[in-house]
A and B are shown apart, each in its own frame.
Chain A
Amino acid sequence: MKLNERSVAHYATCNSPADHAGFLRKRVERHHHHAHHHHTTSYQRHWFVLKGNLLFYFEERESREPVGLVVLEGCTVELCEAAEDFAFAIRFDDAGARAYVLVADGQAAMEAWVKALSRASFDYMRLVVRELEKQLEEACKSLAACRNSPRRFSSSGRKRHLSNPALLPLQEKPTVLENGYSTWGSGGSVPGGATCPDRDEGHAKPPPLPPRRRSATGSATGSPAPGLSPAMPDSPVSPETDCFSKLHSWYGQEITALRREWQERQKRGHP
């Protein structure tokens, strides 16, 4: 099966944020049988970079291209009873698939990796996004309906599964339509489940436009995205707008601006 490897390798090495990185020793998997002598386990040290649901590994930290990639879908991460200390394994649901056994430098490093990897799946991120989408909707409602006393939402029921992805309840999976294809979230339209709050209230003013996030947090990428001016179109969360579809296209602009910035930095010849 072909894969757009060049683009994938580029994604691995470009400036977009890594979710975790560090040295790990990876167990070398042997495929042939050792009939008459002991199977000696050996490990190779690599520089690992986690981006989203993709775990890349490089020969050296400065290597310009990854030597390998582990797609982290349909897997679990668990501590390993291997001979090595600080070992953990990435195991796939698919029976018969090989596991990746990795060894960290110490307890803290191991724990950090296990945590980062167990939250790496696309579904987990999607779950958190949906959860926040709901909360934002509730906050919109609160603001529109009751200006003086914003509701506190209790979501303690959801608390456990967001911090521990292993407890993901089944109903959070994307719904399956009759033709066998599942759809995710609101797409371009705003279906029943994710409608923005009742706009007929109209009593409250729209929330103020979000300030430029990057200046607030001191973005690692330097100057604010050039493409976005303070005079943005309707705030995506104002009651007049079609909340989520506007929000998504608002995001599209941000991404375009960010991408342009990354490209410009590429041209300036970063290593």
Chain B
Amino acid sequence: MRYNERELLSLARQPAEKAAEILMRVPKKGSVLKKRLVKLVVNFLFYFRTDEAEPIGALLLEHCRITKEEENVFSISFVEEPERKYCFECDSEEQCQEWVEALKRASYEFMRRSLIFYRNEIQKMTGKDPLEQYGISEEARFQLGTQKQ
């Protein structure tokens, strides 16, 4: 699958939602925990060797499962391959919890659901669709149950 890697690399240089040096292990046979600079930008998690400017890799955080594992550890896996886990070992339980929370909210799909929820709540409380005044109430992305065409 081709993709605009250049733009993705540019994205990796943007200010991060969250960034830290964390021990990381990829789901490959024989891989070990390695210290990486892990950076969350929009719905991508980039990981770098600590002394390099360009990321080794990126994870798109859609349809993923963030799991709190044992102490200080969380993992990211994807719905179609739940046994393949990217593992992260933090410095503290607190840091671990912060990352779990941040990553759970990091997907575009999460934002979409939040928006639909707020929209619905506001409509119920005020009787008005809050998106109407912005002229975007018919936008497909703000609807629930949009069909794949």
Contacts and interface: CB of A to CB of B under 8 A. Distances in A.
Interface in A1-38: 1-11, 14-22
Nearest to B86: A4
A150 interface: yes
Contact of B116 (A65, A119, A213): A213
Contacts of B5: 1
Contact-size category for A: 35 or more
Interface stretch (A77-85, A180-188, A190-198, A226-234): A180-188
Interface residues of B, number: 75
Interface in A209-247: 210, 213-214, 217-221, 237, 247
Contacts, number: 258
B134 A163 contact: yes
Contacts of B135: 159, 162-163
Contacts of B122: 132, 135-136, 139
A122 B16 CA distance: 13
Given A7-B60, A14-B63, A125-B141, A53 B42 contact: yes
Contacts of B8: 1, 3, 71
B119 A132 contact: yes
Interface of A is mostly: mixed
A156 B135 CA distance: 12
A6 B6 contact: no
The residue among A75, A131, A143 with the most chain B CB atoms within 10 A of its own CB is A131
B58 A3 contact: yes
A17 B125 contact: no
A3 B65 CA distance: 17
A114 interface: no
B80 A6 contact: yes
A129 B112 CA distance: 8
A53 B143 CA distance: 16
Interface in A165-213: 174, 176, 180-184, 187-188, 207, 210, 213
Contacts of A51: 62, 108
A3 B44 CA distance: 10
A11 B64 CA distance: 10
A188 B110 CA distance: 14
Interface of B: 1-11, 14-19, 42-43, 54-60, 62-65, 78-81, 97-98, 101-102, 104-105, 108-122, 124-126, 130-131, 133-136, 139-149
